[in-house]
């Protein structure tokens, strides 16, 4: 009878190795991860990678089609827009903007959400009531509408769009954090460290927070995708980044009139948005499955 | 059940008050002053400034302003548009049916395709069909719908010439619109081809708007169905000699619908968000387009009223879904 | 001819390369009106066997047999539709956990009437009256009111009564009861067994009672099939099999009964667990856990031997003369 060799005594694999083990089994998630890495690479080195400047106008070759079409040239691989700017270069610089928006709004929202969630979970009572009702109100507004409301107050622009997106995402982090805190607080290790004399602040950030990171990581990853999507939507409506900033959404807005004539002006920015959002969603789904102990066998 | 209804309704009231506060404070949170923001770079005469301040109610104490505001709301007075000088509520009510018509068609499309797709994917788990449904729906879920709408126009309107690009009906038609729902009005007018024209105008926007709900519903249906199919009562149903079709479509689906209904309720927000973009692209005269234009024109009473009404719709629909949830799920109906 | 006649039934799961053998060459026959107890630890393949009789094993599970006949019909040759038509009418089954076995979204009446609708027909009124009558037959307290109740409004015992009512609705000739009392309160367990036995006698149906509890079997069965790791290790009539068990495993199960441990400090147990997918031993499947294992038990798998109705799968069956442990 062949028996598989009994596993000998060995060190438990580090959490990161284990995470990768589960994550890498999901092909979609790995694809998402590599796309995200590529996006970050493009964003960091946009100045070196992009063949042209994002705003320089080659008037004589306006609306040049992509290189593989009749009339296209190697000089502008994905063609040019109405004022002769190189679309590929604008997309590469746009990646930098989109990731920057994602990074800033997710960090803002995440840090504020953690603090509010911890407060609501720890202090309970009227503090919790006030915070959670406020979050309910924010959730009652459709996401883009809330963002529009914020932009209506602050005025259109890239920075204000980031604030708006951070506000829109905030309730999700607060709710998640509060729920995790309440679950964690009922566990024995918290009681143990209370007995050991840990103060509330220490308990919040040193004891409870590290144990709530898994859902926060997943939510933050998915937050990136909704931030990119919302920023593009705001840009498209003219409420986000203003021209000539090479933001994907605003590129689409100015492409509207060429829908009949120059398909490439419309197609590529949208494709860039779709691919980035899809990549973050795939990665987030993969992370959630890999971090969810229920699904581990 | 009555207690359940009362509890749900009670929970909504603070949110409601909060929404009025938010809508009210919107105008006060504008850096500087709303009237100055309105005047722009041209400046305005002191008389006009006074008049606008008075119209926006900015010349009274804050607390009075708020209570006045709520009092007016309760009387159906949502203020007047700075741009058209029409009542905000009246404008809203005129435009609202167009958005409802669009949103309902989008939702119907999403349900009609999403439920069967999710069920099939669950029943044929890990098959090519399952992977395709999941792949397509994740793509749909990640789709920037303003771009998707443009692609649809590019394909169906520009290249194939099948559908019109914008509006609700061909301009050749002219009939009274008692309901505001173009399909119904067209049908009531009895004019030849009116209904068909309205349908052709509706179809592309509905597809664009329905894509994200479709993806969400398909994914949710699949996971709910997978969970339910493992349950003991599904085995019992099969042991009775029921056909696989009845087992899935009666016993499993009824239970799987419970979480799916909640998700459908949450789609109202998605639909309103989507309506803002879809209506702008297709020149659909609904509240989404109205709101975007109001923001561009800094028509604050309209923005205020629009936000208030949209939030109210979301709250009311979610409340309705909560109550419906009680009807569908006997455990809640009887355990209140 | 036997009502249920199974020869060499095998059921496997998992990939063909690394199959998980759930049932291995099982023979089982049940006569009309007979009460047979099927006994074994969890993992011995008893529930899987009953699901295979019902035709409820889905891919990737694989069912094969030399013969599998129920009420004179070859189950292996039937179309899925014909097979479904037999469910509820020729063979019915009740399950271990009554609370989760009833659909929470439908009333008792709906679930009872549904079974009647498939197999009996008739209008809704007639079916409702039949359903009410069925609830009376299973001694449901206040049956008229329970008809419109949802499962979550009933206790576990009442849910199991509904399950029984549903199972007997179309007068099946064989009722399979898979651990029907395990999930119930101890006080209800005896009532439930009495009910099953009474219904069995009234209707003359055969009853296949699956349990891990020999005590339950002793109360109602006339014949016992003991299973271990997917195989039958001993069959025999009561009370012979209790008085003089011939397989060491049967003996060990009996020794583990609390009533046979009166006056002892500790309950006797069987060391180890039923072998799983990867540790199925060569030779006798029990030998790693058997106190009497000899070299032959390690190398050679014993066959099921004896006359029909009293068989044992052991190289060295007990004779009844050994000193009791």
Q: What is the DSSP letter of C76?
A: G
Looking at the complex, does the CB of residue A3 fall below 8 Å from at least one CB of chain C? yes
**pLDDT interval class at C150 (50, 70, 90):** very high
Q: Which long-range contacts (CB under 8 A, 24 or more apart) does A190-197 make?
A: none
Looking at the complex, does the CB of residue A192 fall below 8 Å from at least one CB of chain B? no
Instruction: Detail the DSSP E strand segments found in C89-222.
Output: 91-94, 174-178, 206-211
C282 and A4 in contact by Cβ < 8 A?
A: no
B3-29 average pLDDT score: 84
Closest by CA to B272, choosing from B314, B302, B300, is B314
**pLDDT interval class at C243 (50, 70, 90):** confident
Q: How far apart are alpha carbons A258 and A244 in whole angstroms?
A: 17
B303 and A256 in contact by Cβ < 8 A?
A: no
The count of residues in chain C is 325
Handedness of CA B36, B39, B42, B45 (dihedral sign): negative
- Look at residue B38 in the predicted model and tell me its pLDDT: 67
Closest by CA to B231, choosing from A131, C102, C180, is C102
Which two three-digit tokens encode residue A152?
A: 């209506």
C88 and B241 in contact by Cβ < 8 A?
A: yes
Weakest-pLDDT range from A204-208, B57-61, B218-222, C135-139: B57-61
CB-nearest to C56 from B233, B238, B328 is B238
CB pairs under 8 A between A and B: 129
Is the pLDDT at A294 greater than 60? The verdict is no
CB-nearest to C87 from B241, B331, B335 is B241
User: Can you give chain A as a three-state secondary structure string?
Assistant: CCCCCCCCCCCCCCHHHHHHHHHCCCHHHHHHHHHHHHHHHHHHCHHHHCCCCCCCCCHHHCCCCCCCCCCCCCCCCCCECCCCCEHHHHHHHHHHHHHHHHHHHHHHHHHHHHHHHHHHHHHCHHHHHHHHHHHHHHHHCCHHHHHHHHHHHHCCCHHHHHHHHHHHHHHHHHHHHHHHHHHHHCCHHHHHHHHCCCCHHHHHHHHHHHHHHHHHHHHHHHHHHHHHHHHHHHHHCCCCCCCCCCCHHHHHHCCHHHCCCCHHHHHHHHHHHHHHHHHHHHHHHHHHHHHCHHHCC
Looking at the complex, does the CB of residue C43 fall below 8 Å from at least one CB of chain A? no
The whole-angstrom distance between residue C194's C-alpha and the CA centroid of its chain comes to 17
More confident residue, C228 or B62: C228
More confident residue, B4 or B152: B152
Burial class (CB in 10 A: 0-12, 13-18, 19+), A237: buried
Q: How far apart are alpha carbons B55 and B295 in whole angstroms?
A: 18
Q: How far apart are alpha carbons A239 and A249 in whole angstroms?
A: 10
pLDDT in tens, C43-96: 788 889 999 999 888 877 888 889 999 988 998 889 989 989 899 889 999 998
Is the pLDDT at B188 greater than 90? The verdict is no
pLDDT, chain C, mean: 87
Q: How far apart are alpha carbons C1 and C19 in whole angstroms?
A: 34
The whole-angstrom distance between residue A181's C-alpha and the CA centroid of its chain comes to 24
B114-122 average pLDDT score: 95
Is the pLDDT at B94 greater than 50? The verdict is yes
More confident residue, B51 or C248: C248
Is the pLDDT at A27 greater than 90? The verdict is no
CB-nearest to B232 from C84, C86, C95 is C95
Weakest-pLDDT range from A90-104, A110-124, B32-46: B32-46
- Look at residue A31 in the predicted model and tell me its pLDDT: 93
Residues of B with CB under 8 A from a CB of C: 231-233, 235-243, 251, 254-255, 258, 328-331, 334-335
B17-42 average pLDDT score: 74
Q: How far apart are alpha carbons A147 and A169 in whole angstroms?
A: 10
Looking at the complex, does the CB of residue C240 fall below 8 Å from at least one CB of chain A? no
Q: How far apart are alpha carbons A93 and A44 in whole angstroms?
A: 9
- Between strands C310-312 and C231-237, the pairing is antiparallel
Mutate to test the interface with C, among B124, B224, B237, B240 (most CBs of C within 10 A): B240
Mutate to test the interface with A, among C14, C276, C278 (most CBs of A within 10 A): C278
CB-nearest to A149 from B26, B147, B273 is B26
- Among A132-136, C39-43, C109-113, C315-319, which range has the highest average pLDDT? C109-113
Question: Nearest-CA residue of chain A relative to C276?
Answer: A3
Is the pLDDT at C164 greater than 90? The verdict is yes
Q: How far apart are alpha carbons B146 and A256 in whole angstroms?
A: 10
C271-299 average pLDDT score: 81
Whether residue A281 has a cis bond before it, omega within 30° of 0:
no
Closest by CA to B99, choosing from B299, B292, B321, B322, is B292
Weakest-pLDDT range from A226-235, B186-195, B288-297: B186-195
Looking at the complex, does the CB of residue A1 fall below 8 Å from at least one CB of chain C? yes
- Among A13-22, A251-260, C132-141, which range has the highest average pLDDT? C132-141
- Look at residue A296 in the predicted model and tell me its pLDDT: 42
C239-260 average pLDDT score: 84
For C139, phi then psi, to 5°, come to: 60, 40
Q: How far apart are alpha carbons A36 and A95 in whole angstroms?
A: 10
Question: Nearest-CA residue of chain B relative to A134?
Answer: B18
pLDDT in tens, B147-158: 999 999 988 988
More confident residue, C259 or B73: B73
* Number of Cβ within a 10 Å radius of residue B119: 22
B330 and C105 in contact by Cβ < 8 A?
A: yes
pLDDT, chain A, mean: 85
**pLDDT interval class at A55 (50, 70, 90):** confident
Distance from B241 to chain A by nearest Cα, in Å?
Answer: 33
Looking at the complex, does the CB of residue C282 fall below 8 Å from at least one CB of chain A? yes
Weakest-pLDDT range from A49-63, A92-106, A200-214, B41-55: B41-55
**pLDDT interval class at C145 (50, 70, 90):** very high
A252-264 average pLDDT score: 84
pLDDT in tens, A161-176: 999 999 999 999 999 9
Question: Nearest-CA residue of chain A relative to C280?
Answer: A1
B241 and C95 in contact by Cβ < 8 A?
A: no
Partners of residue B148 in chain A, C-beta under 8 Å:
270
Q: What is the DSSP letter of C216?
A: H
B233 and C97 in contact by Cβ < 8 A?
A: no
| 3-state DSSP assignment of residue C41 | coil
Q: How far apart are alpha carbons A97 and A91 in whole angstroms?
A: 10
**Predicted TM-score (pTM) of this structure:** 0.86
C54 and B239 in contact by Cβ < 8 A?
A: yes
């Amino acid at each position: 009878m062949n028996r598989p060799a009994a596993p000998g005594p060995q060190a438990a694999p580090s959490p990161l190795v284990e995470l990768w083990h589960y994550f890498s089994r999901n092909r979609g998630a790995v694809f998402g991860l590599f796309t995200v890495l590529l996006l970050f690479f493009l964003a960091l080195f946009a100045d070196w990678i992009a063949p042209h400047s994002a705003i320089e106008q080659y008037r004589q070759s306006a609306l040049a089609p992509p290189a593989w079409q009749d009339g296209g040239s190697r000089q502008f691989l994905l063609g040019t827009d109405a004022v002769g700017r190189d679309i590929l270069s604008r997309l590469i610089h746009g990646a930098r903007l989109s990731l920057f928006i994602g990074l800033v709004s997710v960090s803002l929202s995440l840090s504020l959400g953690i603090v509010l969630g911890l407060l609501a979970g720890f202090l309970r009572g009227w503090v919790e009531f006030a915070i959670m009702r406020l979050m309910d109100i924010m959730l009652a507004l459709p996401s883009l509408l809330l963002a529009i409301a914020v932009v209506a107050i602050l005025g259109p622009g890239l920075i204000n769009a980031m604030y708006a997106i951070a506000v829109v995402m905030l309730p999700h982090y607060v709710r998640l954090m509060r729920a995790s805190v309440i679950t964690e607080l009922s566990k024995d290790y918290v009681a143990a460290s209370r007995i050991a004399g840990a103060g509330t602040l220490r308990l919040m950030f040193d004891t409870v927070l590290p144990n709530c990171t898994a859902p926060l990581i997943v939510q933050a990853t998915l937050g990136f995708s909704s931030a990119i999507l919302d920023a593009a939507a705001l840009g498209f409506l003219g409420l986000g980044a203003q021209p000539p900033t090479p933001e994907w959404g605003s590129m689409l807005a100015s492409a509207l009139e060429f829908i009949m004539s120059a398909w490439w002006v419309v197609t590529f920015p949208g494709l860039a948005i779709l691919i980035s959002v899809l990549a973050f969603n795939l990665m987030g789904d993969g992370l959630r499955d890999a971090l969810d102990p229920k699904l581990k066998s | 059940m009555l207690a359940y209804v009362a509890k749900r309704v009670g929970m909504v009231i603070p949110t409601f008050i909060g929404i009025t506060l938010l809508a009210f404070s919107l105008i006060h949170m504008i850096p500087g002053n709303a009237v100055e923001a309105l005047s722009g770079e041209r400046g305005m005469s002191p008389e006009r400034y006074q008049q606008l301040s008075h119209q926006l109610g900015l010349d009274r104490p804050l607390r009075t302003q708020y209570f006045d505001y709520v009092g007016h709301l309760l009387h159906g007075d949502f203020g007047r548009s700075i741009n058209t000088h029409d009542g905000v509520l009246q404008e809203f009510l005129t435009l609202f049916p167009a958005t409802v018509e669009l949103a309902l068609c989008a939702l119907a499309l999403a349900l009609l395709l999403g439920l069967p797709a999710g069920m099939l994917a669950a029943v044929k788990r890990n098959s090519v069909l399952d992977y395709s449904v999941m792949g397509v729906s994740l793509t749909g879920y990640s789709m920037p719908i303003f771009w998707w709408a443009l692609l649809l126009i590019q394909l169906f309107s520009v290249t194939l010439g099948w559908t019109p690009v914008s509006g609700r009906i061909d301009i050749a038609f002219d009939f009274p619109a008692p309901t505001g729902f173009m399909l119904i009005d067209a049908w009531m007018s009895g004019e030849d081809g009116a209904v068909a024209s309205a349908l052709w105008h509706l179809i592309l926007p509905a597809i664009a708007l329905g894509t994200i709900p479709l993806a969400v519903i398909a994914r949710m249906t699949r996971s709910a169905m997978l969970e339910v199919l493992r349950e003991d009562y599904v085995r019992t149903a099969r042991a009775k000699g029921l056909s696989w079709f009845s087992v899935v479509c009666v016993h499993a689906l009824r239970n799987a619908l419970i979480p799916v209904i909640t998700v459908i309720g949450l789609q109202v927000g998605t639909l309103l968000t989507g309506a803002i973009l879809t209506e702008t692209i297709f020149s659909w005269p609904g509240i989404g387009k109205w709101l975007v234009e109001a923001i561009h024109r800094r028509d604050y009473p309209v923005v205020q009223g629009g936000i208030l009404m949209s939030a109210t719709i979301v709250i009311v629909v979610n409340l309705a879904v909560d109550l419906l949830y009680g009807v569908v799920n006997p455990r809640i109906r009887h355990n209140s | 001819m036997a009502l249920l006649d199974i020869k060499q039934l095998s059921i496997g799961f998992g990939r063909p390369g690394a199959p998980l053998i759930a049932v291995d060459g099982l023979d089982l026959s049940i006569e009309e009106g007979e009460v047979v107890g099927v006994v074994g630890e969890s993992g011995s393949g008893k529930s899987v066997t009953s699901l295979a009789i019902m035709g409820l094993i889905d891919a990737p599970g694989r069912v094969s047999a030399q013969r599998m006949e129920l009420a004179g019909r070859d189950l292996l040759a039937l179309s899925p539709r014909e097979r479904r038509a037999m469910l509820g009418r020729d063979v019915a089954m009740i399950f271990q956990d009554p609370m989760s076995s009833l659909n929470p979204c439908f009333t008792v009446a709906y679930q009872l009437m549904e079974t009647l609708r498939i197999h009996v027909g008739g209008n809704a009124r007639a079916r409702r009256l039949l359903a009410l009558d069925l609830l009376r037959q299973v001694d449901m307290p206040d049956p008229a009111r329970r008809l419109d109740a949802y499962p979550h409004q009933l206790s576990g015992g009442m849910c199991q009564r509904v399950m029984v009512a549903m199972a007997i609705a179309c007068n099946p000739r064989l009722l399979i009861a898979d651990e029907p009392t395990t999930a119930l309160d101890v006080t209800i367990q005896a009532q439930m067994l009495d009910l099953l036995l009474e219904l069995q006698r009234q209707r003359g149906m055969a009853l296949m009672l699956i349990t891990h509890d020999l005590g339950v079997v002793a109360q109602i069965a006339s014949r016992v099939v003991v299973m271990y790791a997917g195989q039958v290790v001993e069959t025999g009539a009561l009370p012979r099999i209790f008085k003089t068990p011939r397989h060491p495993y049967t003996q060990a199960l009996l020794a583990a009964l609390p009533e046979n441990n009166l006056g002892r400090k500790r309950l006797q147990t069987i060391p180890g667990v039923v072998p799983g997918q990867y540790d199925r031993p060569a030779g006798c499947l029990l030998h790693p856990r058997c106190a009497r294992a000899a070299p032959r038990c390690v190398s050679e798998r014993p066959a099921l031997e004896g006359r029909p109705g009293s068989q044992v799968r052991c190289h060295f069956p007990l004779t009844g003369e050994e000193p009791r442990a």
